[in-house]
Amino acid sequence: MPAARVAPVGDAEPSAETEQGTDAASATGVAPPTRGFLAKATLVTAVLSIAGALLGLGRDQALAHLFGAGTETDAFLVAWTVPEVAATLLIEDGMAFVLVPAFSLAVARRARGTTTGTDPVRALVASTLPRLALAFVAVAALLMAGAPYLVAALAPGLPDPGLAVDCTRLTATCVLSFGLAGYCSAALRAHRRFLAPAAIYVAYNTGIITAMFVLGGRWGVRSAAVGVALGGCLMVAAQAPSLARQLFGRHRSAPETETAAAQGGPAPLDGPEVGKATKIPEVTEVAEATDDPVPSVKHSVELALIAPVLMFALCRQSQVLIERFLASTLPSGAISHLNYAQKVAQIPMTLSLMLCTVTFPVLAQALAEGDTERARTRVERDVAVASCMVLLGAAAVFACAPQIINLLFQRGAFTAQDTAATATVMRVYSVGLLGHTLVGALVRTYFSAGRPTWYPLAAMAAGIVATSWIGAGTVDAWGVRGIAAANAIGITVTAALLLSGMGERRSVPIRTRRVMHELSKPVRAAVCAAVAGAFCASRVDSPELALAVGGLTVTVVYVLLLRVLGVKAVAPAFRTALRSVTRRLPHVRFR
């Protein structure tokens, strides 16, 4: 399942390899993005993701302020399971692992002009979008009809199942809107358009917040479910104009490319013109001799490849289902405490994976071309940078959890007791953040090669079993803390299995011992920083000042220990990101 080849993110200085690749790129009609482009794309994605995360916090704050942490919010959060699962399957992981490489191949074939009279990208859309949309509509209708049974299965001890059923029927509409939004995101990223896909959660959370404040007085917590339906539509609307330009705008043909190459200049491509040589996989060359304009692309989205990807994403999301199932037997508010704690704790993990999201095509193309060394370097670098970033966030979350929850949520119907319970759960969650990040970074390597693999699903299933057994065994004694601990242990088990299973037969043969040794350094630094930060924050009465003192202590201790331990993974990435925003990058567009 080949993707458009891209260069690694690192120092953005031109290399001999880059210079030598210009002529080859002209010959093939596909120019890979420069390292600076990837750095800028990562920065744009991160900034908009932060904006979306902040609005997500605002959404949770509004939910807590308007409805507190009780029976109503528990009912809505059971219904919230539907958009959470849909986002994982249709936007964040799942379909993205299949559609991004497929669209990348179609874009490459369009640039080469290997078909006559048929645009490969439009042909791919025509062959896949109607069937996918029909499937999304069918699933949404099934969820609406079966909402009572779904609620009974997810939360059998819920005090007000009727309210949860109403909210579930409203949120079920997101299956269609999220499916279309994920489809648009995959197509735009393959066209090297990152602004609109990165902005979808800004639009989504804006819709939910608006609906809660406008309709909350009349419809209660059902207004949040209406907001989910509205926000899903806004996600599609935010991307539709940009995708329409890519599908129906003017695209340069093969003769133009050949003319530019013959004149000794770079091909007139839509994107960076300097990069490594691009080699279109053999499956494309075979396709040229057939009558089907996109046979290779259709092959890329066949069921044998989609099934393990979707099953993995669904299995991973089932952690949330297990948590809510177990928490439904606890006193009212338990599901809400878990939700608020998880949403805040996830922010460092989400930000740490931004680099992996942008470099996904790098890995896919390296594996498609058999460049094992480049793929290994990319994976090891991404794991190192992402781990350093998430461990800093985990240390800060652990050290300042009471202050963070106090400042974010303790107002209106959200009491001091809710703050204490949520902060305790969030500290437990922080222990598993490294595992979540490693799973997100490593699973891409298994699905980038374009061949079916069930190992990630087996690893995730082992983690789910651990989560279930530990959660069931500790929920009576430890309550929500036992559920959160089960989550942290289960995802860590999955991360360990994915890391140990890295090999040429399944994925990328990384140097596992070396990676583990390097990971141990920021882990030790994060533990020390978390303890120091928690101690300093506990000595200050004011929540605002305590958060500032604790956060500063964590940052200083962590950075100093990284230097002492010899961790050098983060500095090159920061230097590249800084250059990307201080130096003009020609031929790069983010519309």
Query: What is the distance between the alpha carbons of residues 347 and 352, in angstroms, rounded to a whole number?
Result: 9
The phi and psi torsions of 70 (rounded to 5 degrees) equal -145, -145
Quick one: 570 exposed, middle or buried, by C-beta within 10 A (0-12, 13-18, 19+)? middle
Query: What is the distance between the alpha carbons of residues 160 and 186, in angstroms, rounded to a whole number?
Result: 39
For residue range 190-237, list pLDDT tens digits in order.
Answer: 777 878 888 899 999 999 999 999 998 888 889 999 999 999 999 999
Contact 91, 136 (CB under 8 A): no
Instruction: Determine the 3-state secondary structure of 503 from DSSP.
Output: coil
Q: How far is CA 451 from its chain centroid? A: 21
Query: Averaged over 107-124, what is the pLDDT?
Result: 72
Show the beta-strand stretches assigned E in 334-460: none
Highest-pLDDT range among 210-219, 245-254, 255-264: 210-219
Joined together, the tokens standing for residue 220 give 């209660």
For residue range 417-448, list pLDDT tens digits in order.
Answer: 889 999 999 999 999 999 999 998 888 888 76
Highest-pLDDT range among 21-35, 147-161, 502-516: 147-161
For residue range 306-315, list pLDDT tens digits in order.
Answer: 777 778 888 8
For residue range 506-518, list pLDDT tens digits in order.
Answer: 667 788 888 898 8
Quick one: 344 exposed, middle or buried, by C-beta within 10 A (0-12, 13-18, 19+)? buried
- In this predicted structure, what is the pLDDT of residue 483? 93
Domains of the chain: which residue ranges? 36-248, 333-577
Q: Would you say residue 141 has pLDDT above 70?
A: yes
List of residues 6+ apart from 30 with CB closer than 8 A = 4, 5, 107, 108, 111, 112, 269, 278, 280
- Contacts of 464-468 spanning 24+ positions with Cβ under 8 A: 464/315, 464/318, 464/319, 464/322, 464/490, 465/490, 466/490, 466/493, 467/319, 467/322, 467/491, 468/322
- In this predicted structure, what is the pLDDT of residue 589? 39
Query: What is the distance between the alpha carbons of residues 191 and 188, in angstroms, rounded to a whole number?
Result: 5
Query: What is the distance between the alpha carbons of residues 316 and 467, in angstroms, rounded to a whole number?
Result: 11
Query: What is the distance between the alpha carbons of residues 356 and 41, in angstroms, rounded to a whole number?
Result: 11
CA proximity to 183, closest of 134, 115, 146? 134
Highest-pLDDT range among 20-34, 266-280, 458-472: 458-472
- In this predicted structure, what is the pLDDT of residue 116? 55
- In this predicted structure, what is the pLDDT of residue 198? 84
CA proximity to 379, closest of 60, 387, 158, 108? 387
